[in-house]
Amino acid sequence: MGDEATEFWSAFEKETGEKVEARGEGSWFRVPKSGVVHEGLLILTNKSFRFKYVTDTLRPYVTTVAPEFEDRSEFTIARDDIVAVNVPKRGFFARLFGRAFPRYSVVARSESGEKTYVFSADPSSAFIAALTKTWPEGNSIH
């Protein structure tokens, strides 16, 4: 399995021309206030933040996305377009009684103004640490 993963990430970098800085499994709440959630990969590269829908999910209780909707189940945001990264404050009780994987959001410039992308990930993952650590100087992390 290790060779397959290495080949996948190598092909991804070759195809996109971007260097992967961090990656992790996560969920994207395409419609934040609804139950529409997509499972996949969160990818932070030197040029973008991406969510990539993965058809082979390891969670058998998650329904798959119909093929005609797969292309709309992914996003790519240029890092230069990101306005803010919102990381929830998790005190003792939030960690004890809250969601295991809290919801984060990224606000980015778009053609129609600003758009918010809500996602969840393991708060102790390397992905969240990289997203907050490598954030461009001068942009806010809330």
**Structure-block tokens of residue 26:** 């996560």
Q: 81 has which bridge partners?
A: none
Q: Give the pLDDT confidence of 70-114 residue by residue, as tens digits.
A: 445 789 999 989 888 887 765 555 555 555 578 888 899 988 899
pLDDT attached to residue 126: 83
**Structure-block tokens of residue 125:** 């993952």
Domains recognised in the chain with CATH numbers: 2-141 (2.30.29.30)
123 in helix, strand or coil? coil
Rounded to two decimals, the pTM is 0.75
pLDDT attached to residue 70: 47
Q: How many CA atoms lie within 13 A of 51 on its CB side?
A: 23
Please give the share of the chain, as a percent, with pLDDT higher than 70. 70
- Rounded mean pLDDT, 64-68: 48
The rounded Cα 131 to chain-centroid distance in angstroms is 10
Question: How far is residue 9's CA from residue 43's CA, in Å, rounded to a whole number?
Answer: 10
49 in helix, strand or coil? strand
Burial (CB < 10 A; 0-12, 13-18, 19+), residue 112, is exposed
Residue whose token pair is 């980015």 = 108
Say if residue 50's pLDDT is above 70. Answer: yes
pLDDT attached to residue 95: 53
- In what order do the strands lie in the sheet containing 82-86? 75-78, 48-53, 38-45, 20-29, 113-121, 103-110, 82-86, 140-141
